[in-house]
Amino acid sequence: MKLPLEEPKDWICTACGCTLDIVKVGFTYMKGNFEVDLPACSSCGLVLISEELANGKMADVERILEDK
């Protein structure tokens, strides 16, 4: 799944202070596996999921899967 991303070049992890890089992140929901490119900490692996993504595309996919 490709999503529009902002450049995380200036973003810093609040947990450890390292920079964020775009990485493939795996999600599992209702026996479905998905990979999405998201900003994540290069040190601790904490992933940034924007409010827009959580309430937009992810919520849409959740509704579609639950309706099946």
**Per-residue pLDDT in tens (0 to 9) along the chain, 68 residues:** 444 455 556 788 999 999 999 999 988 877 778 888 999 998 999 999 888 877 877 677 777 767 76
Whether residue 1 is contained in a domain is answered as no
Domain assignment present for residue 56? The answer is: yes
| Residue 8 within a domain | no
In a domain, 40, yes or no: yes
Phi, psi dihedral angles at 52 (to 5 degrees):
-60, -45
In a domain? residue 59: yes
Is residue 57 assigned to a domain?
yes
Is 5 part of a structural domain of the chain? no
For 59, phi and psi rounded to 5 degrees?
-65, -40
> Has this prediction a pTM greater than 0.75?
no
Q: Into how many domains does the chain fold?
A: 1
Please check whether residue 5 is in contact with residue 37, taking contact to mean a CB–CB distance below 8 angstroms: yes
Identify whether 42 is part of a domain.
yes
Domain of 40? Answer: 20-67
